[in-house]
Amino acid sequence: MGVYIKGVEMPERCADCLFYGLENAGNGMDWDYCKCKRELIDDLDAERQSDCPLVPVPPHGRLIDADALRQSIK
For residue range 41-66, list pLDDT tens digits in order: 888 777 888 888 888 887 777 777 88
Residue 59's pLDDT is 79
Whole-number CA gyration radius for the chain: 18
Chain segment 20-42, per-residue pLDDT in tens = 988 888 888 888 899 988 988 88
Mean pLDDT of the chain: 85
Give residue 1's pLDDT band: very low, low, confident or very high (50, 70, 90): low
CA-CA distance, 48 to 46, in Å (whole number)?
6
Q: Determine the pLDDT at residue 9.
A: 87
CA angle 20, 21, 22 (to 5 degrees): 145
